Amino acid sequence: MAVVPGVLLDHVDVHPPHAHPGVAVGVKERLVQVPAGDRLAGAFDLPQVAMPSRQRAVGRFTRPYSWHTCERPGRCRADGSVMPARFQLVIDCKDPELLARFWAAALGYVLEPPPEGFAAWDDWRRDVGLSDFVGIGADSIVDPRGEGPRIWFHAMPDAKVVKNRLHFDVHASGGRSTLDRSVPFAARKERVDAEARRLADLGATITGRLGEGLDHYAMGMQDPEGNEFDIN
């Protein structure tokens, strides 16, 4: 992982094996301060760490650091290699339920049901002390097949002011990936345009074609709160 001095890092929620599926409550926070002249290197296994949002990395990195956590049960394979950590994607927004419903429809996800033993999410929020989040409605979506990450829409009062540094590429053109050119260009274009129209009907905005002149067809989009994403 290369870190450029002064770059603003966002946060990642990493879940320990015993955590409730998709719920980040109870995850510890640790701020790692990097002195000038130091370097972060190697593989990092942080099963109980959430990097705090809006922390800056500073200095020039020259000396390696690494953490070995294979003593944690269930986190290392027999050969000593580290298993991938589970994570969720967190998106700040003004109206969590609006975006949750839009992105569930866009990605083939579903609204996440409340944890077992609770009739509604607000009951769970009150039980764990999240009174500030009571009344916001559905704010998380999950892949019904259990393959993709949980997505949590975090209610924030601040409006979006700059282009996102992270965005979705929604693959709709066919083939195994965005690099697969086995599907004819005309068919890929037709599928991308159809998906762009479908999502526009759900509240998205079409901003225009991307990659003009290449053997690649993609459409620039914005979700109902103006977050950029692509369909390709």
Domain 168-231, what fold? 2,3-Dihydroxybiphenyl 1,2-Dioxygenase; domain 1 (3.10.180)
Q: Map tokens 């977050």 to a residue.
A: 227
Greater pLDDT, 35 or 98: 98
How many CA atoms are closer than 13 Å to the CA of 200, on its beta-carbon side?
A: 14
217 secondary structure, DSSP code? -
Least confident of 108-112, 132-136, 138-142: 132-136
Residues 138 and 97: beta-carbon distance below 8 Å:
yes
pLDDT, residue 204, reads 97
pLDDT at 18 over 70: no
- pLDDT band at residue 53 under the 50/70/90 scheme: very low
Write down the domain spans for the chain. Answer: 1-71, 88-155, 168-231
Q: Is the pTM of this model over 0.85?
A: no
State CA 29 to chain mean position distance.
18
C-beta neighbour count of 166 within 10 angstroms? 9
pLDDT at 211 over 80: no
pLDDT at 144 over 70: yes
- Please provide the DSSP assignment of 26-68 as one string: T-EE------TT----S----TTEEPPTTEE--S---S-----
pLDDT tens, residue by residue, 57-90: 333 333 343 444 455 556 666 666 777 778 899 9
